[in-house]
Amino acid sequence: MKALVTGGAGFIGSHIADALLARGYSVRVVDSLQRRVHPRGKPAYLGSEIEFIHGDVRDKCLMERALGEIDVVFHAAAYQDYMRDYSTFFDTNVTGTALIFEIIRERNYPVQKFVLSSSQAVYGEGQYRCAEHGFQMPAGRTVDRLDQGEWNLFCPECGRDLEPLLLEERHTNPTTSYGLTKLFGEMVANRLGKLVGVPSVSLRYSITQGSRQSFYNAYSGICRIFTRALRNRQRPVIYEDGLQQRDYVHIEDVISANLLALDSDGMNFQCYNVGTGKRTTVLEYAQKLAKQMGVDLEPLIPGAYRVGDVRHTVSSIDKLTQLGWKPTRNLDEIFTHYLGWLATLADTEDYFTPAYENMRQEGVVRMLSSAPETTPLLAANS
């Protein structure tokens, strides 16, 4: 059996590739080695037994070659960032996905399964309940309210703060370019998969943690950024008020969900959350990490926020656990694994600060209107 992993040089994709090798698959990887993620080129952790193709998933000629003789496709390639180059999100994440099915149909390639790496970003601000007016899916928070430090979502009918619910697969409401394109990518995979006869499964990851997370980009870097601050005896800086609820899942649990999707015909043409279902605030995360590292430093909350962030995002995993899957690593174990991996690396250069400064200049990171004019460095909240 031969597997193709797009984005296979990245954090999640490379772990999928390794898991398939361990199962005896012949593995081919396509990756553009995007400079914001891989400024030093092909990473050393990609083994020599993997067939590597350097290129873009939007390149039809390249993808025709990459899909040749392939039995299963794990599509982990995606453009993700907080910048405002909207068309790049859609071109990469939606057109790139559609192109795979176009080639499969045109070439009559015998692909037996397609597994898409999606995201809880498809839920946008999420799912809430008002004590008086019931279930709601609020729109994205406005800059005007965020500038005043009004972080929580409220009921438009009565003005009460809303109670966040665990995110269920049936309700989607993306508010960012990334979230929109991940939802559209799921729709492409499910609908075109049925059209060309390729069973597809979409997995909506919570915030995945583990080894091989890029040092170089500012997306999903909470463990890396907070760890770096604490190792340098600096207070990690938190966006908003630190009470944002998040769901952190270990890379090994994400990989086991991918293998289950490969094996289970009962999952075909459906979407599944992959997380823990456990609520952790960003403040709790920083405090627990500091304790595990033996550093007595409280986080700094200077009054900054990131445009496009959601207030709370914690997934229900009931649908997937009913199939026998369950998360196996808690937050302490996530820290232990990550810190152990980090100790093997010599690179301690600060890559986040330039990326943060770029976001600040582009207006992606903003300060409260009442905040002092200081620049919060090393900040992250997802």
Of the candidates 368, 343, 348, the one whose C-alpha atom is nearest the C-alpha of residue 229 is: 348
Q: Quote the CA–CA distance of 52 and 32 in Å, as a whole number.
A: 11
**What is the reported pLDDT for 356?**
66
- Paired with 158 in beta bridges are none
Pick the more confident residue, 344 or 179: 179
Whether 76 has a pLDDT exceeding 90, the answer reads yes
Whole-model pTM: value is 0.94
Domain at 2-367, CATH class: alpha beta
Whether 119 has a pLDDT exceeding 60, the answer reads yes
Whether 217 has a pLDDT exceeding 70, the answer reads no
Model pLDDT for residues 313-338, shown as the tens digit of each residue: 999 999 999 999 999 999 999 999 99
Model pLDDT for residues 175-196, shown as the tens digit of each residue: 999 999 999 999 999 999 999 9
Model pLDDT for residues 351-381, shown as the tens digit of each residue: 666 666 777 777 788 999 776 655 444 444 4
**What is the reported pLDDT for 62?**
98
- Band of residue 130 on the pLDDT scale cut at 50, 70, 90: very high
Whether 221 has a pLDDT exceeding 90, the answer reads no
Q: What angle, rounded to 10 degrees, do the helices at 222-231 and 331-342 form?
A: 60
**What is the reported pLDDT for 218?**
59
Over residues 236-262, mean pLDDT: 96
To the nearest whole number, what is the mean pLDDT of the chain? 91
Whether 274 has a pLDDT exceeding 80, the answer reads yes
Whether 345 has a pLDDT exceeding 90, the answer reads no
Whether 289 has a pLDDT exceeding 60, the answer reads yes
Of the candidates 12, 29, 28, 140, the one whose C-alpha atom is nearest the C-alpha of residue 80 is: 12
Q: Quote the CA–CA distance of 186 and 204 in Å, as a whole number.
A: 10
